[in-house]
Structure 1
Amino acid sequence: MVQGLPHIEGKQHVCEGCAFGKQHRLPFPKGVSWRAKEKLELIHTDVCGPMDTLSHAHNRYFILFIDDHTRMTWVYFMRQKSEVFTIFKKFKSLVEKQSGCFIKTLRSDRGKEYTSKEFHNFCEDEGVERQLTVRYTPQQNGVTERKNKTIVEMAKSMIHEKGLPKTFWAEAVYTTVYLSNRCPTTTIPNKTPFEAWSGRKPSVNHLKVFGSICYSQIPKVKRSKLDESSERCIFVGYSTMSKGYRLFSLKESQVIISRDVQVDENASWNWEENKVETKDVLIITDKEDKDEPISSVTSPSDPNSAQLNEESRNSTDSTSSNSSSPSSTPKRYRSIDDIYATCNYCSVEPENFDEAIKEESWRKAMEEEIHVISKNQTCQLVDKPTNKEVIGFKKSKSEATLYVKRQGIDVLIVTLYVDDLIFTGSNKKMIEEFKDDVTQKYEMSDMGLLQHFLGMEIYQEEETVFICQKMYAETILKKFNMLGCNPVSTPLIMGEKLKKEDGGKTADATHYRSLIGNLLYLTATRPDLMYAASMLSRFMQSPSHFHLSAAKRVLRYVQGTTDLGLSFQKNHTVNLVGYCDSDLGGSLDDMKSTSGYCFSFGSAMISWLSKKQQSVAQSSAEVEYVSASLATSQTIWLRRILADLGHHQDEGTVLYCDNKSAIAMAKNPVHHSRTRHIALKHHFIRQAIEDKEIQLEFCRSEEQLSDILTKPLPRERFQLLRDKLGVRQHIKGEC
Structure 2
Amino acid sequence: MPPGKKPIGCRWVYKTKYNADGTIERYKARLVAKGYTQQERIDYLDTFSPVAKLTTVRLLIALAASNNWFLHQLDVDNAFLHGDLNEEVYMEPPPGLNTHKEGQSKSDHSLFIKGTSTDFTALLVYVDDIILAGNSMTEINSIKTLLHNKFQIKNLGELKYFLGLEVARSKKGIHLCQRKYALDILKETGMLGCKPSSTPFLCDTNTLYRADSYLDDPGSYRQLIGKLLYLTNTRPDLCFSINLLSQFMKSPTNHHYRAVQHVLRYIKSKPSEGLFFGVDSQVHIKAFSDSDWATCPNTRRSTTRFCVFLGSSLISWKSKKQSTVSRSSTEAKYRALAAIVCEIQWLHYLLQDLQVREAGTPALYCDNKSARHIAHNQSFHERTKHIELDCHVVREKIQANLLRLLPVRSDEQLADVFTKFPHRVRFKSIVPKLGLVSIHHPA
TM-score (norm 2): 0.83
How far apart in 2 are the matches of 1:496 and 1:356? 48
Q: Conserved in 2, the CA contact under 8 Å of 1:497 and 1:588?
A: no
Shift of 1:451: 0.7
Label 1:367 to 1:694 Cα distance change in 2 as closer, same or farther (>3 A). farther
Partner of 2:224: 515
Label 1:563 to 1:536 Cα distance change in 2 as closer, same or farther (>3 A). same
User: Which one of 373, 383, 386 corresponds to residue 664 of structure 1?
Assistant: 373
Partner of 1:363: 82
SS at match of 2:380: coil
> Match of 1:342, as an amino acid?
L
How far apart in 1 are the matches of 2:356 and 2:249? 40
User: Which one of 174, 183, 202 corresponds to residue 493 of structure 1?
Assistant: 202
Shift of 1:414: 0.8
Q: Conserved in 1, the CA contact under 8 Å of 2:335 and 2:390?
A: no
User: Which one of 343, 364, 370 corresponds to residue 634 of structure 1?
Assistant: 343
How far apart in 1 are the matches of 2:248 and 2:189? 18
How far apart in 1 are the matches of 2:178 and 2:84? 31
Verify: 1:317 aligned to 2:37, yes or no: no
Question: For 1:649-678, what per-residue CA distance to the aligned partner results, in whole angstroms no more than 9, with x for missing partners?
Answer: 385421110011100111113221221122
Q: Conserved in 1, the CA contact under 8 Å of 2:283 and 2:311?
A: yes
Partner of 1:327: 51
How far apart in 1 are the matches of 2:83 and 2:397? 45
> Match of 1:410, as an amino acid?
D
TM-score (norm 1): 0.51
How far apart in 2 are the matches of 1:699 and 1:677? 26
How far apart in 1 are the matches of 2:107 and 2:358? 16
Q: Conserved in 2, the CA contact under 8 Å of 1:507 and 1:548?
A: no
Matches within 5 A, 1:137-536: 317=42, 326-328=50-52, 332-356=53-77, 359=79, 361-364=80-83, 389=101, 394-497=103-206, 499-536=208-245
SS at match of 2:348: helix
SS at match of 1:344: helix
Partner of 2:330: 621
How far apart in 2 are the matches of 1:711 and 1:316? 38
Question: For 1:321-352, what per-residue CA distance to the aligned partner results, in whole angstroms no more than 9, with x for missing partners?
Answer: 9x997413xxx223111001122343443101
How far apart in 2 are the matches of 1:324 and 1:634? 24
How far apart in 2 are the matches of 1:365 and 1:594? 51
> Match of 1:693, as an amino acid?
L
Question: For 1:122-153, what per-residue CA distance to the aligned partner results, in whole angstroms no more than 9, with x for missing partners?
Answer: xxxxxxxxxxxxxxxxxxxxxxxxxxxxxxxx
Matches within 5 A, 1:548-627: 548-627=257-336
Question: For 1:214-266, what per-residue CA distance to the aligned partner results, in whole angstroms no more than 9, with x for missing partners?
Answer: xxxxxxxxxxxxxxxxxxxxxxxxxxxxxxxxxxxxxx99xxxxxxxxxxxxx
How far apart in 2 are the matches of 1:482 and 1:401? 37
How far apart in 1 are the matches of 2:303 and 2:48? 24
Partner of 2:407: 698
Shift of 1:591: 1.2
Shift of 1:550: 0.9
Shift of 1:703: 1.0
> Match of 2:330, as an amino acid?
A
Shift of 1:549: 1.2
Identity rate, percent: 33
> Match of 1:336, as an amino acid?
V
How far apart in 1 are the matches of 2:225 and 2:232? 11
How far apart in 2 are the matches of 1:506 and 1:605? 37
How far apart in 2 are the matches of 1:367 and 1:686? 55
How far apart in 2 are the matches of 1:353 and 1:432? 11
Q: Structure 1 runs of 4+ off > 6 angstroms?
A: 365-368
SS at match of 1:404: strand
Question: For 1:398-420, what per-residue CA distance to the aligned partner results, in whole angstroms no more than 9, with x for missing partners?
Answer: 10111111011431111012222
Shift of 1:727: 0.7
Q: Conserved in 2, the CA contact under 8 Å of 1:347 and 1:427?
A: no
How far apart in 1 are the matches of 2:122 and 2:85? 24
SS at match of 1:317: coil
How far apart in 1 are the matches of 2:176 and 2:192? 22
How far apart in 1 are the matches of 2:86 and 2:213? 51
Shift of 1:592: 1.1
Label 1:658 to 1:499 Cα distance change in 2 as closer, same or farther (>3 A). same
> Match of 2:81, as an amino acid?
W
Partner of 2:7: none
SS at match of 2:113: strand
- What stretches of structure 2 of length at least 5 have no aligned partner? 1-20, 23-36, 91-98
Label 1:734 to 1:554 Cα distance change in 2 as closer, same or farther (>3 A). closer
How far apart in 2 are the matches of 1:316 and 1:509? 25
SS at match of 1:338: helix
> Match of 1:718, as an amino acid?
F
Q: Conserved in 1, the CA contact under 8 Å of 2:50 and 2:125?
A: no
Partner of 1:728: 437
How far apart in 2 are the matches of 1:649 and 1:498? 47
How far apart in 2 are the matches of 1:420 and 1:563? 23
Q: Conserved in 2, the CA contact under 8 Å of 1:583 and 1:593?
A: yes
Question: For 1:549-603, what per-residue CA distance to the aligned partner results, in whole angstroms no more than 9, with x for missing partners?
Answer: 1111111111111010111111322211111111121111111111110011133
SS at match of 2:70: coil
Question: For 1:358-404, what per-residue CA distance to the aligned partner results, in whole angstroms no more than 9, with x for missing partners?
Answer: x3x23249999x99xxxxxxxxxxxxxxx875xxx611111011111
> Match of 1:703, as an amino acid?
E
Q: Conserved in 1, the CA contact under 8 Å of 2:175 and 2:277?
A: yes
User: Which one of 426, 430, 442 corresponds to residue 717 of structure 1?
Assistant: 426
Which protein has greater RCO, CA pairs closer than 8 Å, 6+ apart?
2
Shift of 1:440: 2.4
Measured on the aligned residues, the alpha-carbon RMSD in Å equals 3.1
SS at match of 1:394: coil
How far apart in 2 are the matches of 1:677 and 1:508? 43
Q: Conserved in 2, the CA contact under 8 Å of 1:388 and 1:395?
A: no
Q: Conserved in 1, the CA contact under 8 Å of 2:68 and 2:279?
A: no
- What stretches of structure 1 of length at least 5 have no aligned partner? 1-251, 254-286, 288-314, 372-386
SS at match of 1:396: coil
Q: Conserved in 2, the CA contact under 8 Å of 1:342 and 1:642?
A: no
Question: For 1:287-341, what per-residue CA distance to the aligned partner results, in whole angstroms no more than 9, with x for missing partners?
Answer: 9xxxxxxxxxxxxxxxxxxxxxxxxxxx99369x9x997413xxx2231110011
SS at match of 2:280: coil
Q: Which has the larger radius of gyration?
A: 1
How far apart in 2 are the matches of 1:365 and 1:475? 40
How far apart in 1 are the matches of 2:435 and 2:359? 26
How far apart in 1 are the matches of 2:405 and 2:117? 34
Q: Conserved in 2, the CA contact under 8 Å of 1:579 and 1:599?
A: yes
Partner of 1:81: none
SS at match of 2:42: helix
How far apart in 2 are the matches of 1:481 and 1:506? 18
Q: Conserved in 2, the CA contact under 8 Å of 1:581 and 1:627?
A: yes
Label 1:657 to 1:497 Cα distance change in 2 as closer, same or farther (>3 A). farther
Question: For 1:503-561, what per-residue CA distance to the aligned partner results, in whole angstroms no more than 9, with x for missing partners?
Answer: 33345221111011011000011100111111111111111111111111111111111
How far apart in 1 are the matches of 2:304 and 2:212? 28
